[in-house]
Structure 1
Amino acid sequence: MTHRFLKTEIHCHIEGAAPPALSHRQALKYGVDTSSFIADGGYVWRDFAEFIACYDKVASLFRTPDDYALLTESYLSELAGIGTIYSEIIVSPDHGDRIGVGADGYLAGITDGIHAAREKTGIETRIIVTGERHFGPDSVIGAARYAARCGNSLVTGFNMAGEERMGRVADYAPAFDIARDAGLGLTIHAGEVCGAFSVADALDLVRPSRIGHGVRAIEDPALVQRLVETGVVLEVCPGSNIALDVFPDFESHPLRQLIEAGVRVCINSDDPPFFSTSLAREYEIASEIIGLSDAQINAMTRTALEAAFVDETTRSALLSRLDRRQAAGDDA
């Protein structure tokens, strides 16, 4: 059982963490018909493009800072309840502008939720600002500029998510230069919908310390070796990969191959209710379906903490907590 593991998650989109029940309550609050994207207690989509559209419809149900405080506190409390000690949540300031509260109001609500969850549960959390690739380079550059100037101490990283097939990585590289110059950690979605070439492009043009997904790197042995040599961490999300038909089943998922090759990896839930998963479920998949040992799973948790966009004092405290658990071999 996965309750024996302390857990860490560094790849989860905050709107993508909204459970259908909460989204339904938000829809009732705002008088929104959800029949086109919520049915039988779950989200409705058929392919990656429809998933993005469904995600945006769910996001549109969260419209005020208080809405975002509720969503954030709820998700982080859920994580803490399964033994999660650290979380990084991916947020999009563009959404704050689209709902009319502005990026600052949007971020303020998320920050309030983080503080509330930490006070109640002790979970440590940081924020990764993301640009949405399908809104174009100017939008992504704008998100990087916002992340660089927002002055929120919880914002420690920058990312690019969205439709991976849109545009070239080179078109978006200036956004990462802005974020790098501001001292933010860099990660980028690549090697999920698109193949190994997108991981190589990210390494060449963005030079991130982490890559969101990156699992299609397995198609290129030379690229796998490059990941080993550079130590770039892959934020792997098995449940998401299977739901989006990146791989046909968990048995063919390359997580074990990547680990055995020496690639630094960790496990995450991505957009859990959209993919009928959770962080607890991802740990179960790693243990019970993919068949990783407890030592391998704990090593992934350690990798996530080592790669986290967090100050060294906090990192040391989190690693010490993990060490104590492993030494004790007991529950959180």
Structure 2
Amino acid sequence: MSHTDPGLLPKVELHLHLEGAAPPDFIRALAAEQGMALEGVFDAGGQYAWTDFAQFLKTYHRACEVLRGPEEFRRLVEAVLAQSAADGVVYTEIFIAPDICGGGDPVAWAEYVAAIVEGAQSARAAHGIEARFISTAVRNFGPDAAERAARLSAEVAGDRITGFGMGGEERHLRAADFARAFAIAREAGLGITSHAGEVCGPESVAETLDHLRPSRIGHGVRAIESPDLVQRLVDEGIVLEVNPGSNVALSVYPGWDSHPIDRLRKAGVQVTVSTDDPPYFHTDMKHEYRMLAHHFGWAAEDFADINRIAMQAAFCDPQTRSAVLARLEGARP
């Protein structure tokens, strides 16, 4: 086993929510500029304050109140990507939502997208980090809103907006209800992913595969409860965007030792590692890598493998994929 600090290795991250990755200092600074008092959002140490899922959502939404327009989102992208680059991330994909960026209005959405792209270009020039964005529907907003989100996503599909997915309340409705939205996005050439198998069990993953036909699943860890589903993931080459620290923080699993990422990988499932909403879960990509090394004995070769998987599954153009793969290979100890 290599003794290189895994936290210092280059990394690829595929599952990151833009608003959920907002550094607390950034949100505090915006609030000060706007004269807003965000009572209850931060703890005594200056981190996001929450104790259960309901409070997590409340804190999350309160923090987002300072993200009022495209200019704030441009600055947010720059702040998030600067943090990711500092954690060794060389390529990342970030979730954004038309229902949040402009409230589903086509003109406003286009302005938000332009600002977000500008932020990504600025971060690439400053830090060398490549970023792409996955436009998402919010499941609990329903199928009609999802189809609107898919149409808006199709209109801006291109160099930076390269994927379509779905987050939100996993227990709401069935995957089949959203099939049309995903068909619209697929027809536009967007890569397809969807959250499943986090709150709900393996049936959530199976239904998502059946009806939405993604190449990747966000989370997907509860597939471990069904040997048949695990084998299906292997056979179909489905890539899981796994977020161990998030799963532990939200009590999907009681601790790192019980998390199934290592068992899934040993079963032949293609797993990747991400942080989800890192400052809320007191994690970052360095911490995730160090915990995986500590609990499962993963070494530099293992991290190189999951990064290759992530990059092969990335929603980007072949030239970017090749360049990042070469960068990863060149950084191997």
TM-score by length of structure 2 reads: 0.94
Aligned position for 2:315 = 309
Aligned position for 2:73 = 68
Aligned position for 2:293 = 287
Q: Distance in 1 between matches of 2:122 and 2:212?
A: 34
Query: Are the equivalent residues in 2 in contact too, given 1:250–1:290 (CA < 8 A)?
Result: no
Q: Distance in 2 between matches of 1:3 and 1:237?
A: 16
1:11 partner SS: strand
Q: CA RMSD in A?
A: 1.7
Could you tell me how far 1:318 is from its partner in structure 2? Answer: 1.1
Q: Percent identity?
A: 46
Query: Are the equivalent residues in 1 in contact too, given 2:87–2:284 (CA < 8 A)?
Result: no
Are 2:137 and 1:109 equivalent residues in the alignment?
no
Q: Distance in 1 between matches of 2:185 and 2:322?
A: 24
For residues 135-284 of structure 1, what are the structure 2 equivalents within 5 Å? 135-284=141-290
Could you tell me how far 1:54 is from its partner in structure 2? Answer: 2.6
Match of 2:12 among 8, 11, 20: 8
* More off after superposition, 220-229 vs 77-86: 77-86
For residues 38-49 of structure 1, what are the structure 2 equivalents within 5 Å? 38-40=42-44, 41-49=46-54
Query: Are the equivalent residues in 2 in contact too, given 1:60–1:99 (CA < 8 A)?
Result: no
Q: 1:32 to 1:152 in 2, by over 3 A?
A: farther
Are 2:27 and 1:18 equivalent residues in the alignment?
no
Query: Are the equivalent residues in 2 in contact too, given 1:96–1:104 (CA < 8 A)?
Result: no
Cα distance per residue 1:172-215 (max 9 Å; x no partner): 12111111111100000000011111001111111100000000
Q: Distance in 2 between matches of 1:165 and 1:52?
A: 16
Cα distance per residue 1:50-87 (max 9 Å; x no partner): 33333222222111222111111111122222322101
2:123 partner SS: helix
Q: Distance in 2 between matches of 1:201 and 1:46?
A: 31
* More off after superposition, 28-37 vs 240-249: 28-37
Query: Are the equivalent residues in 2 in contact too, given 1:92–1:131 (CA < 8 A)?
Result: yes
Q: 1:183 to 1:38 in 2, by over 3 A?
A: same
Could you tell me how far 1:99 is from its partner in structure 2? Answer: 10
State the number of aligned residues. Answer: 327
Q: Distance in 1 between matches of 2:207 and 2:158?
A: 30
Q: Distance in 2 between matches of 1:48 and 1:165?
A: 14
Are 2:35 and 1:31 equivalent residues in the alignment?
yes
Q: Distance in 2 between matches of 1:281 and 1:179?
A: 34
1:323 partner SS: helix
Q: 1:262 to 1:291 in 2, by over 3 A?
A: same
Q: Distance in 2 between matches of 1:174 and 1:278?
A: 35
Could you tell me how far 1:92 is from its partner in structure 2? Answer: 0.9
TM-score by length of structure 1 reads: 0.94
Q: 1:296 to 1:151 in 2, by over 3 A?
A: closer
Q: 1:99 to 1:156 in 2, by over 3 A?
A: closer
Could you tell me how far 1:16 is from its partner in structure 2? Answer: 0.5
Q: 1:173 to 1:47 in 2, by over 3 A?
A: farther
**Letter paired with 1:6:** P
Q: Distance in 2 between matches of 1:49 and 1:223?
A: 30
* More off after superposition, 140-149 vs 48-57: 48-57
Aligned position for 1:85 = 90
Q: Distance in 2 between matches of 1:49 and 1:290?
A: 31
